[in-house]
Amino acid sequence: MVLHVIKSKIYSGAENVVCQIIKELSDREEFIYMSPHGPIEDKLKSIGLYDCYRGIDSLSADEIRKAVDELHPTVVHAHDFTASVLCGFALKGRVPVISHLHNNPPWIKKFHIKTISYLMACKYIDHILMVSEAVREEYRYTSKLKCPITIVGNPFSVEGVVSQVSEGAVGCAGSEDLKSDLLFVGRLVEQKNPMLVAEVAKELLDSGSIGTARMVGDGEYMPSLETFVAENHLEGKLILEGFKKNSYDYMANTKVQIMPSKWEGFGLVALEAMALGKPVVGTDNGGLKNIIDETCGYVCTDVDSYVSAVKELLDNPEIYNTKTRGALKRAQEYNNIKEYCNKLYEIYDSVR
């Protein structure tokens, strides 16, 4: 049995990866998903994985030891730096630990308590998975790590994305509440740069280039965004949707996806939008630099370049259709769910 340990209580990129692993390998392995109680529970219920959920009040070394004592996993799969450090020090070699790094926050480049803690915890970690070369290149102490490192990307299924668009979500009267010219999907945190999204949307709305922009997600920047909407009289135009169990319905009903992340380990949202034929305008930070290019969208650097890119897409049907075809093609290039999970299963076996 594999125990997945994750510090987040919401549903986002890393959580999506865990769910895909469990669903794809459930015929070969038993899994437990352990995280703090929160919105993730509703998501797990909606996709039929709640039976394998172990909810806790907060992630700690004591909770990890308690779970291992009760469940006797053969592998502990820890997601991100905090979970990896806690699992390493809590277990100290009692059970094989795989550390899975989904992100590349700015501090990983620095002499920092988190980078040092991770290096020390790796004494008790058997294998490290990283979602992109950017994570390996940016972690300050990669050269000092002794255990194997594998760049795994993210599990991705075009069919899986398409299948999660609700029946009747596109082309019916009810889809009006889902439609947008510009869409952001992600946590409202500094990493995802939501205030830049608001600035871009304002410029486009004020100029009449778009009629509606939507932001799907929740987080610490929600109050600032609500103030921005009110102060700029954008009610009903820049719509803050909050957290949604199914963001794919919104992706299927937008024209352009925006992803201006300040850092990004992989960039799964970009691929999800492309799987639905949506051009993406975004940065080339971290893993995104391998996904977004001129065939499927635009790489942008500031408000003006985002505004120009969106205008060009929406004003020129020929360009838009070309980028749409490119987006669909790029998504197929990353269509790797079976290969990914087979490789991961081999890694599980190698550390047991």
Query: Which of 77-91, 167-181, 257-271 shows the lowest mean pLDDT across its residues?
Result: 167-181
pLDDT at 174: 59
Structure tokens at 100: 């899975």
pLDDT > 90: what percent of the chain?
91
**pLDDT score at 171:** 66
Residues of the chain with CATH 3.40.50.2000: 2-155+336-351, 164-333
Segment 196-211 shows an average pLDDT of 98
Alpha-carbon gap, residue 209 to 203, rounded angstroms:
8
* 258 pLDDT tier (thresholds 50, 70, 90): very high
Give the rounded percent of residues in the chain with a pLDDT score beyond 70: 99
Domain boundaries 2-155+336-351, corresponding CATH code: 3.40.50.2000
- Residue 210's contacts (CB-CB under 8 Å, 6 or more residues apart) are 181, 182, 201, 204, 310, 314
Burial profile 109-121: b = 16 or more Cβ within 10 angstroms, e = fewer? eeeeeebebbbeb
Question: Rounded to 5 degrees, what are φ and ψ at 346?
Answer: -65, -40
Coil, helix or strand for 284? coil
Whether the CA torsion 53, 54, 60, 61 is positive or negative: it is: negative
Examine the pLDDT at 260 and tell me if it is beyond 90. Answer: yes
pLDDT in the model for residue 245:
81
CB-CB contact of 33 with 49 (8 Å)? yes
Residue 54 above 70 pLDDT? Answer: yes
**How many whole angstroms from its chain centre is CA 189?**
13
The tens digit of pLDDT for each residue in 229-256 reads: 999 999 999 999 998 888 999 999 999 9
User: Measuring CA to CA, how many Å separate 98 from each of 4, 22, 26?
Assistant: 10, 15, 18
CA distance linking residue 293 with residue 289, whole number of Å: 8
Task: Give the pLDDT confidence of 134-193 residue by residue, as tens digits.
Answer: 999 999 999 999 999 999 999 999 999 999 898 877 766 557 899 999 999 999 999 999
| Domain 164-333, CATH class in plain words | alpha beta
What pLDDT does residue 11 have? 87
Alpha helix locations (H) across the chain? 13-25, 40-46, 61-71, 80-91, 113-121, 133-138, 158-163, 194-206, 222-231, 248-252, 268-275, 303-315, 317-333, 337-351
